[in-house]
Structure 1
Amino acid sequence: MATNSAFEQLIVELINRARLDPAAEAARLGIGLNEGISGGSISSSAKQVLAANPFLVDAALGHSQWMLATDTFSHSGSGGSSPTQRMSAAGYTLSGSWSTGENIAWAGTTGSVNLAAYTQRLHDNLFKSAGHRLNILNEGFREIGVGELTGNFNGYNAAIVTENFARSGSAYFITGVAISDADGDEFYDIGEGRSGISVSVNGQGSDTTETAGGYKVAVSSGTHSVTFSGGGLAAAVTVTVAAGAANAKVDLAGSNKILSSADTSLGAGARHLSLLGVAALDGTGNGLDNTLRGNKGANTLDGLGGNDTIYGLAGNDTIVGGAGSDTVGYLGRRADFTITENADGSYTVVDNNLGDGINEGRDTIRGTEFLRFDGSGDTVVIGTSPPPEPEPEPQPGQGPEPEPEPLPPANGPSEGDDVIALSDAGGSVNALGGNDNVSGGAGSDIVRGGFGNDVISGLFGADRLFGDAGLDRLYGGDGDDQLFGNADGDFIFGGNGRDRANGGSGVDRIYGGNDDDVLIGGGHNDLLHGDNGNDRLFGNAGTDRLFGDRGDDRIDGGGGRDHAFFSGGSSRYDVDELANGNVRVTDLRGAEGVDLLIDVEVLHFADGLLIF
């Protein structure tokens, strides 16, 4: 039995992309979805994907070969056979409520055939044809066989293709393709297929990806655990897929990214997920730092643990960051969106610019720390807010004169230079003016430095420290702390715990310390050190100096000409410029991990510079 060539696999992928988003395929080709079809019988909803069947492949190849050999272009084949007869003769069993269909097409030239270009052309021409489009988008079909050959046809150097469609029996299929995705476009390209990867579906069966990367496993309806392993994968990748009574497409891109047409939860070894098509699907992360991307439908996306980046994209999505420090990303500009905090603590984010071709809908967001707007490079902090300002003192005429305040105790705040130590029970204090030295206790403290050059130490607990005006020094200590330098140039050190540090205005120096931290500069030329852990650094405006240090860090320079620093010589690192303009830097020795650089213009190594 034949298997798909790389070009036949491309046709399968093009057809399945069209089935998952019919309107987009029609728009790409500049036609109406129901152009030439009476009654408008094709809906824009997603259709189940098709799984390649080897018997249908044999039937399709046999008919293409016969047409080439006889210079005949017809659905009637050898001996006057019909498409259904040829499928049965090749070994395809028709049972239950079955159906079949066939498309054929050819294109020729007096020159050389560029088969990759002709493969795309044949698909496009078939989709533009009303009758063939009905087969391509027939909701009942579940399987396909493609046979594409080249040769002399009617005096031309030609490519000719037969597409056999069918449904038989009660089985559904989990199907897809394993690709290297070298160009990062999340779609199969010639030469990207990965063979020899085992695909097992718990309790249902298994398959091994073919030379072109394709696979299929027959399953019953319902929810299934799918595992990719072997074939050069460093570790197995497992996901849970809820397909219901339909085929599901589950692609493996690279080593740990899943592309799926069904509700999907990431399991062991899976790191990233992109949902396909236009259906309203759910996507769920795991305990790793995931990247989740929705589709055009109304998705529910939940990052669970880890520091996740989530894009809802089109549709009115519900997004939950979960544990960790999470970012919801938008492709548009900050100025085009309205952000509203709701009474239940969630946020509503609305894309008001429907004319930019993006239209990212109206999203509801919970459990998330940051909103990132790629179109303008802006980051908005939504996961933390400072404590409320004290109520204003009553003015004369508004009420009775207040009792005279007692003098502050020796350990209390005043407008002078104070030394204040909070109790272990936790508490809050505003140190007012002066150059103050304030230390917390074992509890979770809230400390405002007020005016002056203050030294504030959180020590233990999950503290919130505000330097306010002046050149302040903030030390988080142990616990998951929030540190705000606010005005002027500050020194901030997170210490132990998963800290969030925001320098505010001024030229700030911010160090994350241990664990996974979030560091945010301001509008000036800031210095940010991630130190240990998987950190997220945001330089924002200004010419910033950014050090990810140890761990897998995300470094976003923001506006200005920003510099990222690495401790070793350039030969120690693998530097890749990605298709979206970001840069990935991998420490081949492992200590400094894999860093993602966004809007960083200059990379510094021990032996020189690399400028983007």
Structure 2
Amino acid sequence: MLGGAGNDIFRVDNISDIVTESASQGTDTVQSSVTYALAANVENLTLMGVLAINGTGNELNNTLTGNSAANVLIGGIGNDTLNGGAGADTLMGGIGNDVYIVDNVGGNVIENVNEGTDIVSGNGSVNTLTGGAGNDTLNGGAGADVLIGGLGNDIYVIDSVGDIVTEGINEGTDLVQSVIAYTLVANLENLTLTGVSAINGAGNELNNILTGNSAINVLISGIGNDTLNGGAGADTLIGGMGNDIYVVDNIGDVVTENAGEGTDIVQSSITYTLGGNVENLILTGTSAINGIGNDFSNILTGNSVVNILNGGIGNDTLNGGAGADALIGGLGDDT
């Protein structure tokens, strides 16, 4: 079968069938009822019938689609999309940034080390998604899913209170993107709240980065040296043990830190007065804003424009930055 300049469909039902397609002659599809490996210059493969047959891609960016039986799909070199269909399929992406679509609890994704940044997506029911050795994105869909990352810097998409994330120790720097309130489980580093609902997030024993959405969030630090960024809303940022960083961008933001819980920094893009038990303040952005210390020995740092820095009671260090700043030391031996 010889294709031409258009987007051709080749129907294959015999292992001896030969498909010939020249380069740059459209986006072509083979529909095969037998095990098939894509020939050169053919982009897509759809397995037909009800038999447990297999499909293999080529060097292009392929879309490989299984039938209702158990298929083995092998992507090859390109950035491939592998959709096994209803059966308990085995999906092997190969080199490239691949997308795996899993819709059977028996589905299996195999990805080797350094084979790209991949996405594993489930359907709306209960899924168990297992990433490979690469940097994977695991999205189980609406059901109560089990997401297992593996090696690599993985992203877990959470949208159900029944979702379970499993990550081994020293298996990369991982991120949870959650549309519901979420507490990081063991061995997960970072959390980003998504959507527009007022939801909350909490860290664990690692050095976490906790990021809110545009609504009102409560972010609670764990034991590590954490960064808490509430986003656009009037957020409550609660530190813990460790040297924490608080990112403040709303006059309604509240920072809470207990005594003896590390040396902490507020990075503020608005005028800000340090609350109790927070040591240092850095003004950010390009607006002419001001900063005021507390009764600790503070380090106050301005931004690139005109700032007023007022140290307060302690032995403070005031650094105005590039602008024509006013530095007010207050009581204490100030620098």
Question: Normalised by the size of structure 1, how large is the TM-score?
Answer: 0.25
Q: Which has the larger radius of gyration?
A: 1
Which structure shows the higher helix fraction? 1
